[in-house]
Structure 1
Amino acid sequence: MSNEEDPVSADITVTSVEVPELTEEEQRDRLHLERKVEKAVFEAGKALMELRDRRLYRSTHSTFEEYCKDRFGFQRRHPYRLIEASAVFDNLMKMCPNGTQTETESSDAEIYSSGTQTENEEMCPNGTQILPTSERQVRPITKLEPQQQWEVWQTAVEEAGGKVPSARVVGDVVQRIMERTKAPNPYRVGEICLLIAKDNPDLRGKGGCWGIVKHVGKFSCTVTMWDGEYTIRIDHMKPLNYLESECQQMQQISDRISRLRENERLEEAARAVLKHLGELKRPYLTAVEEKLLGFIEQEYGVNEGNKPIANS
């Protein structure tokens, strides 16, 4: 037999490496940095809101959507979702006045050094120190009232075992609440919706048009569209989830269309423009659309007091 050492019986030396515990300063740094990561997406939403509201994009782009696409690679709805998510995040923070997640390093240090969060736990029980970390997680609750947002989020955190819940968990909680409150009609007056004709012959030619909810019934809504008012079942409607400011802007467009529609002298060419505007897939007019609408208003003498509402 060879004198070589038998590999089976060879001794293997294992050196243990002791991983040092984090110091108090490192614990504070970790907590502070984790807070920054958690808040990053919501800070982006706040920044986008200011860029939009102050129209700081106007030197290079005619619309906010074009600016976001070119500058950040965002598709049309994404910046608005971030804006909505930041509002939810702020609300969840405000619901706990002495919240456990703050931007300041001193507050993080106080939480760590004390080892307890007694006052906050009394005000915000059941793990409210857990806040959302992505826009997707809060998307199901952006349309809820502030108190409902808080309650849904708290329940979702509990169901996730005290951890950040997924969008699916949050959505499931919202669905259960809707079923429990027996609210078959989720729409509200002033909301913008998209009409889905499906197999309803009364809605032929109306599919793809947007409308404004004027009255909410038990299982249907009265909706104002470009060519009149209709009573539509909710299964033929789809919410466009526009922001409140966008809904107000669409209301202005609808009012201008309605005033023109009532004119008996309206020619087919003008009606074709109104039909086009009634099928918009965005909450604003382009510069060309604004000029066309303004020209028609001037032609028929109904433009007094109107302000241009193109997104420019």
Structure 2
Amino acid sequence: MNKPTSKRKKPTPASSSDDTPPDNLTQEENPATATITVSAVEIPELTEQEQSDRLLLERKVERAFFEAGKALTELRDRRLYRSTHKTFEDYCRDRFGHSRRQSYLLMDAAVVFDNLMKKCDPMDHILPTNERQVRPMTKLEPHQQQEVWVKAVEQSGGKVPPARIVKNVVQQIMERTQVPNTYQLGEVCQILTKDNPELRGKSGCWAIVSAVNDFSCTVKMWDSEYAVGLQHLKSFNYLPEECQQMQLISDRISRVYSDLLEETVKSLLQSLGKLNRPYLTAVEEKLLSVVELEYGNEIKF
């Protein structure tokens, strides 16, 4: 009698990898091979009216600093601040939160922008979009400003150039043409010491131009006169009457200043030599008057 034979189940072959799907799993059921279809979102083109509106708004943004500079100039020239403020500086600070320097930078930039518009109309209105792009050109003649801007646009691939490129082009033109000294006698300037050891301790001080040379100025400060290169000067852009006020203050300080003065008095006079406004406050006026009364008749060695 034959013995019954047992049937053994064949072992299921192990998967060579956890990522390999079983044979009976279809492509649709396997997420690893699933195809995701993304429908493209169609962005509607701008209508002619929208294109016109966009261009108009872009022009407004680009001209914002220009319009601000023009408005500030008119406010200053017509003295429309006089009913509420003694000085234009106080008015700008209280009304707009501007420093005096900021207001005058905008006014200078507006003049340059106005000049560039005459040249750049054929250039598809590629014009400055902020004051910093214009600032390096303010000391140049109108035709030089236009030349700088055209070259800066070219170097930027036909786009609005950053201030860095404008500044480099200005420097190239100055070295090539040796732009003449544009400072004037009596002009009030700020001292920029940079790396000049002879001006150590004078950073930020104001000085009055007493002589104009080809590439430097002789300036008078509270203690002496100095020959200063143009790269170490920056005009405060004061009005003529403001320059006269600063000249009077300078003369008063110079008459009493001496190295023999007490340190507290010297410090006071030196602090007045760092004013960033063309007038003394009531307290400063009283302090200077006391010093004049006390030391004005002493002989300075």
TM-score clears 0.5? yes
Contact persistence 1:210–1:278 (CA under 8 A): no
The residue number in structure 2 matching 1:38 is: 62
Identify the residue that residue 240 of structure 2 maps to in structure 1.
248
- Say if 1:15 and 1:128 are closer, same or farther in 2 by CA, change over 3 A: closer
Question: For 1:278-297, what aligned pairs fall within 5 Å after superposition?
Answer: 279-288=273-282
| Counterpart residue identity of residue 39, structure 1 | R
- Which structure has the larger Rg over C-alpha atoms? 2
Match of 1:45, SS?
helix
Following superposition, the deviation at residue 169 of structure 1 comes to: 0.2
- Aligned positions of 1:158-237 closer than 5 A: 158-182=154-178, 186=181, 188-190=183-185, 191-195=187-191, 199-200=197-198, 209-218=205-214, 220-226=216-222, 230-234=225-229
* Partner secondary structure for residue 212 of structure 1: strand
Q: CA deviation at 1:73?
A: 3.7
Give 1:16's match in structure 2, choosing from 40, 43, 52. Answer: 40
Structure-2 change in CA distance of 1:42 and 1:204 (3 Å): closer
Q: Distance in 2 between matches of 1:137 and 1:72?
A: 22
Aligned to 1:91: 115
TM-score by length of 2: 0.68
CA distance in 1, matches of 2:143, 2:30: 72
What SS class does the counterpart of residue 184 from structure 2 fall into?
coil
Query: How far does the alpha carbon of each residue in 1:106-136 deviate from its partner, in whole angstroms, 9 at most, with x for none?
Result: xxxxxxxxxxxxxxx3xxxxx3620000111
5+ residue gaps, structure 2, are 1-21, 294-301
Unmatched tracts of structure 1, length 5 or more: 101-120, 122-126, 300-312
CA distance in 2, matches of 1:258, 1:81: 25
Q: Which residue of 1 aligns with 2:232?
A: 238
Q: Secondary structure at the match of 1:156?
A: helix
CA gap 1:62/1:6 in 2 versus in 1, 3 angstroms:
farther
Greater length-normalized contact order (CA 8 Å, ≥ 6 residues apart)? 1
Q: Which residue of 1 aligns with 2:133?
A: 137
**CA RMSD of the aligned region, Å?**
3.9
Q: Deviations over 1:28-66 (max 9, x none)?
A: 111111111111122122233334444445565554444
Aligned residues: 258
Q: Is the 8 A contact 1:214 1:222 kept in 2?
A: yes
TM-score (norm 1): 0.66
> How far 1:153 sits from its partner (Å)?
0.9
Question: How many Å separate the matches in 2 of 1:275 and 1:143?
Answer: 32
Matched position secondary structure for 1:8? helix
Counterpart of 1:288, as a letter, is A
Q: 1:52 to 1:247 in 2, by over 3 A?
A: closer
